Structures are given as C-alpha cells and as structure tokens.
Amino acid sequence: MKFETLGRHILVEYYNCDEEILRNPRLIEDYMNDSALNAKATIVDSVFHHFNPWGVSGAVIIAESHLTIHTWPEYGYAAADFFTCGDIDPWKSFELLEELLKAEKSESTEIPRGLTTKIKKFAKKDLGKITHKPEAI
C-alpha cells in the first residue's frame, strides 16, 4: 500500500565528524545551504547561531520546508533534520552533508509527514485532492 504524504522528514545523527568544522558557524551555514541546493531546493533564508566556544545551531528555510542542525564539536556529533515537500529528495541533502562534515558514521530515520488520508479524515470540510502545493483559486 502506497501512502500519499505532503512531505518527507529525515532525522539524522552524524558521528565522528570533523570537530573544527562543527564549531565553525560560517562553514556550517555554507554546508547546510549547499546541502539544500544539492537537493534542488529553493532557499528562502538561513539563520545560524554560534554557542561560543561550542556548537552551532541553525536553520535553512526552503520554499519546500526546512533543514536544521545542531552541533556538539566536543563530541564530534551533529543532529540534523531535512524536511521537504514535493519532488525535493531530502536524501540528497543528507548525503552531501555527511560528506562535508566528514562523518565516519550516521544513523537516520525517515518519517512521512502530512499523511493525506489522516488530513482528510480529520478535516471539517471536503478538501478535494490534497497536494503539497494547492492550485491557485
């Protein structure tokens, strides 16, 4: 049975990453933006914060949803998520970021978001055909 969803959400753990990269807010922002572009996503904005002397947290807002990250350089660890809608493949972002962070190992889970059957079930009106980008009225 194929489930129809509005989006795909990948939660990722990156292990044994390059600690210098993980503590560099400029590099992390560049790498996250590169990862979004690798999936052919449309970047709307990005915001990153450096928790001196430690890690970096940030988000890349894309027209198709978002990519986020938090790093713990002291542990060589980063947690990231890639939430995309439409035809954007979040695994393209995941793969490039894994390479850029020089992660030796990663673990990931994909979660379907916006199951259309549930959206219709709980709706208080007839929604018609549900797509990630409704046609203009």
Structure tokens at 46: 């990005």
Helices marked H in 16-130: 19-22, 25-38, 90-100, 116-122
Per-residue pLDDT at 27 exceeds 60: yes
Task: Give the separation between CA 29 and CA 26, rounded to whole angstroms.
Answer: 5
Verify whether residue 17 is a known catalytic residue: no
The string of pLDDT tens digits covering residues 53-105 is 789 999 999 999 999 999 999 999 999 999 999 889 999 999 999 999 999 99
**Mean per-residue pLDDT for 9-20?**
98
Say whether 65 is catalytic: yes
Marked catalytic residue, from 35, 65, 93, 106 = 65
**Does the pLDDT at position 116 exceed 80?**
yes
**Residue type present at position 33:** N
What percent of the chain has pLDDT above 70?
93
Could you say which of 46, 57, 70, 132 is catalytic? Answer: 70
Structure-token match 């915001």, residue found: 47
- Delineate the domains of the chain, giving CATH numbers in brackets: 5-122 (3.60.90.10)
Q: Is 132 a residue of the active site?
A: no
Calpha distance 79→110 (Å, rounded): 14
Could you tell me which of 43, 49, 39 has the C-alpha nearest to residue 93?
39
Contact between 94 and 81 (Cβ < 8 Å): no
Please say whether the beta carbons of 76 and 17 come within 8 A: yes
Q: Is the predicted pLDDT of residue 136 greater than 70, yes or no?
A: no
Catalytic site residue from 35, 66, 85, 106: 85
By percentage, how much of the chain surpasses pLDDT 90?
77
Instruction: Count CB atoms within 10 A of the CB of residue 103.
Output: 21
